[in-house]
Amino acid sequence: MAKKLPQSFWAKTARIILRNRVLILLLVAAFTVFLAMQWKNMRFSSSQANLLPDDHPVNLEYKDFLNQFGEEGNAVVFAIRDSALYSPENFNRWNRLSKQLDAFPEVDFVLSTDNLQELIKDKDKQEFVMRPLIEKSPETQSEVDSIKQHLFNDLPFYESLLFNKKSGTLRTVMYLDKDIVNTSVRKDFILQDLTNLVEDFEEETQLDVRISGMPYIRTMNSQNIIDEIGKFILAALGVTSLLFFFFFRSVRATFISMGVVIIGVMWAFGILGLLQYEITVLTALIPPLIIVIGIPNCIFLINKYQQEIKKHGNQALSLQRVISKIGNATLMTNVTTASGFATFIVTDSKLLKEFGIVASINIIGIFILSLLIIPIVYSFLHPPRTKHLKHLNKKWVDAFVNWTVRVVKEQRIAIYATSIILLIASIIGIYQIDISGSPIEDMPKSEQFFKDIRFFEEEFDGIMPVEIVVDTKRPKGVLKPATLKRMDQLGQVIEEIPELSKPVSVVNLIKYSKQAFYNGIPKYYQLPTSQENTFIMDVARKSSDDGDLLKSFVDSTGQNARITTFMKDVTTERMEEIERRLQENADKLFPSERYNVYMTGSALLFLKGTKYLVKNLILSLALAILLIALFMAYLFRSFRMIIISLIPNLLPLVVTAGVMGFVGVPIKPSTILVFSIAFGISVDDTIHFLAKYRQELMANKWKIKVSVYAALKETGVSMFYTSIVLFFGFSVFVISNFGGTVALGALVSATLLFAMLANLVLLPSLLLSLEKSIANKATLKKPQIDILPKDELNSSKNEE
């Protein structure tokens, strides 16, 4: 009964599909319209991807920081490095740009030369007051020169914040409203209002404005992702349709297949909208993935239909056999592919979990679409003509399959030697793999916003915020002289690290207060001595603006302070060294019984998240291997067959990891996907081969050699077709502007091509070499499920 049940099930399924053709097409159309209506719920990611689970300690610290000090990544910076800026016309136009920016409701405030305030002491009232740097717009060159000299030489508080004294670069800092910084409002403002304003300025002055800051970078990066979705879909459709037509030489078959995958793409977008998931750099890959994975389904089904038509010419019987014979095999291969993606669901990473859910649902969805649409559409059409069946006799494909048979027969020792050499070399390469925790690693290097990132790194030592929070464990403990001195010492450590920018904290404000107390003389920009402290702090406390000045650096209780610095784009190893050095110095300077000091910020958050993802990669890959091993056990009920089937699928993964180490492709959120995707897809070939092999074994009275060669000839063509489609299909990702997506496409393509060779050469060799161990009914028991019906073999024998 175990054997007959699936056959009767698929025969029944075939009857239901073919007898209810119009109803099924209407249901598919209705469901497609329903999902298309969900497109309006699609959201593009507005915030930086959080790779850590919500309850992770690093995440909890970051949330505490945001609660105390607000959004850290809300600054957009503008800079010009050009002496022409300091002409009266251009300098006033630059200041007018600041006013224009400040007028937008999306902007909290703007800090620039236009509204810059300097701290001075009111001798009469004995308090600090703020005085504008520019009382009135300068009209002559000497007035501009005077302002520039005063700013650059007398106001060290603003150095590295608004200007670079060495190069003369001038900067404006725009702080977005914290309520809109992680919403779509930010995107609309930056892409439209802000861009238009800057373009007008550049046109009027002929000056080159550099723009950066995390909100701007995230917006431009997200827009690139959006632009690439369409590009990938068109490229995937173009490549797969050309390949399909090349294999089948049938415009009709090509259009039917394209129709199936286009509906699959519509479903993919609909499911993203239905689940209300954000479109991230990972979920953006799903629509083209569905095209690439869906086309092999179409190849198997249409190829089988045409083989049946060629054999007996009966269209109804051919369509019935397409569903009943290929349906089960296609279901199994799609389930294993979906399993590779579904393993991401068990991870604690929201980013990977959402990707796994949507990808696995859509892979099963494209299988259902293929199984329903292809037979139904063909049932309304005339049977294919003789010219459409010529591809079934392609000599060059037969030559390739014959070559694999010959290699397996004659070169088995060479196959094993090559495999062992590749394995050893790959293990060496694996030890050279780096982990990249850089949030800008994958960003498109050719885009202007990326070049601007490098500009700001050069001029102002980085754009990725790193925050150090000092908890004094008592209210108003921050302004104690001992705390300020310790913070200043930690600031000196930060300044010694070349990859970090000059730190900004309450210490800078206190130093500025002392400078103001001494009538603005720059040499007094330092912390007050114990004798000076009482007088200066008394003056500061009387100052009406004191609270406004402090709120950016100290929380409302005066217990917690922040030290802000910015980090250049550095390697993960160097980032960890910097983190370790800062933490060691913080622990040394701030006794744990009196202070609690921790580091946070989006740069460190991304680093920790990437390392966390690597652990999840190992978990998801191990789970994928376990799931597929259990699946093989259920199908073939033989431990030896499980081991034999896993070897040719694991070796390509090891080789790919080795190649990554040798060519310097780091492990990062994008390349992490390579292994689970490739494993889930490549094991399909193994299932097809072993299913046919077991069938041949039973027919040939357990003669291994005859069965292996027969299975190789029978499945070699379809494995070749699907592997070529998958290779070129995944290769479309190399046109991406994102380095990680390029690496993903190239690595998956190469892995699948190598997996095809391993399944066609190494797998048969292992079966032949282990002939005595597996060539008996006790070892290879009757399977739980027949992947291919028994009469499939008989029909192929009759055809021969």
DSSP 764-791: HHHHHHTHHHHSSTTTSPPPSS-SS-HH
The answer on pLDDT for 620 being more than 60 is: yes
Please indicate, yes or no, if residue 193 is contained in any of the structural domains.
Answer: no
Please indicate, yes or no, if residue 450 is contained in any of the structural domains.
Answer: no
Please indicate, yes or no, if residue 253 is contained in any of the structural domains.
Answer: yes
pTM: 0.76
For 129-187, write each residue's pLDDT tens digit.
778 888 888 899 999 999 999 888 888 888 888 888 889 999 998 988 878 877 778 88
Please indicate, yes or no, if residue 647 is contained in any of the structural domains.
Answer: yes
Burial (0-12, 13-18, 19+ Cβ within 10 Å), 583: middle
Please indicate, yes or no, if residue 360 is contained in any of the structural domains.
Answer: yes
> The domain containing residue 720 runs over which residues?
4-48+220-431+606-799
DSSP characters over 254-277: HHHHHHHHHHHHHHHHHHHHHTT-
Strand partners, 596: 471
The answer on pLDDT for 195 being more than 80 is: yes
Please indicate, yes or no, if residue 71 is contained in any of the structural domains.
Answer: no
For 747-796, write each residue's pLDDT tens digit.
888 888 888 888 888 888 888 887 666 555 444 445 444 544 444 434 44
The number of residues in the chain equals 800
Location of structure tokens 């009943």: 324
Distance, CA of 348 to CA of 55 (rounded, Å): 10
For 693-720, write each residue's pLDDT tens digit.
777 777 777 777 888 888 888 777 778 8
CATH number of the CATH domain containing 751: 1.20.1640.10
pLDDT band at 292 (very low <50, low <70, confident <90, very high): confident
Distance from the Cα of residue 254 to its chain's centroid: 31
The answer on pLDDT for 658 being more than 70 is: yes
pLDDT of residue 636: 67
For 311-355, write each residue's pLDDT tens digit.
877 888 888 888 877 777 788 788 878 887 888 887 777 777 888
For 568-619, write each residue's pLDDT tens digit.
888 778 888 888 999 999 999 999 899 999 888 877 887 777 777 777 777 7
3-state class (DSSP) for residue 566: strand
Distance, CA of 723 to CA of 757 (rounded, Å): 10
CB 504 within 8 A of CB 643: no
Distance, CA of 162 to CA of 158 (rounded, Å): 6
CB 659 within 8 A of CB 652: no
Query: How crowded is residue 696: how many other Cβ atoms within 10 Å of its Cβ?
Result: 23
Distance, CA of 537 to CA of 528 (rounded, Å): 9
Strand partners, 78: 172, 211
The answer on pLDDT for 425 being more than 90 is: yes
Pairing of strands 169-176, 75-80: antiparallel
DSSP characters over 441-477: TTS-TTSHHHHHHHHHHHHHS-SEEEEEEEE-SSTT-
Please indicate, yes or no, if residue 667 is contained in any of the structural domains.
Answer: yes
CB 673 within 8 A of CB 691: no
CB 435 within 8 A of CB 670: no
Most confident segment among 11-20, 180-189, 414-423: 414-423
Instruction: State the Cα angle at 739 between 734 and 742, rounded to 5°.
Output: 20
For 79-100, write each residue's pLDDT tens digit.
999 999 999 999 999 999 999 9
In sequence order, what are the residues at sequence separation of 6 or more whose Cβ sits closer than 8 angstroms to the Cβ of residue 13? 323, 324, 327
Compute the average pLDDT of residues 26-46: 86
For 252-276, write each residue's pLDDT tens digit.
888 888 899 999 999 999 999 999 8
Our count of domains for the chain comes to 1
pLDDT band at 210 (very low <50, low <70, confident <90, very high): very high
Q: Among candidates 744, 783, 765, which has minimal Cα distance to 644?
A: 765
Please indicate, yes or no, if residue 738 is contained in any of the structural domains.
Answer: yes
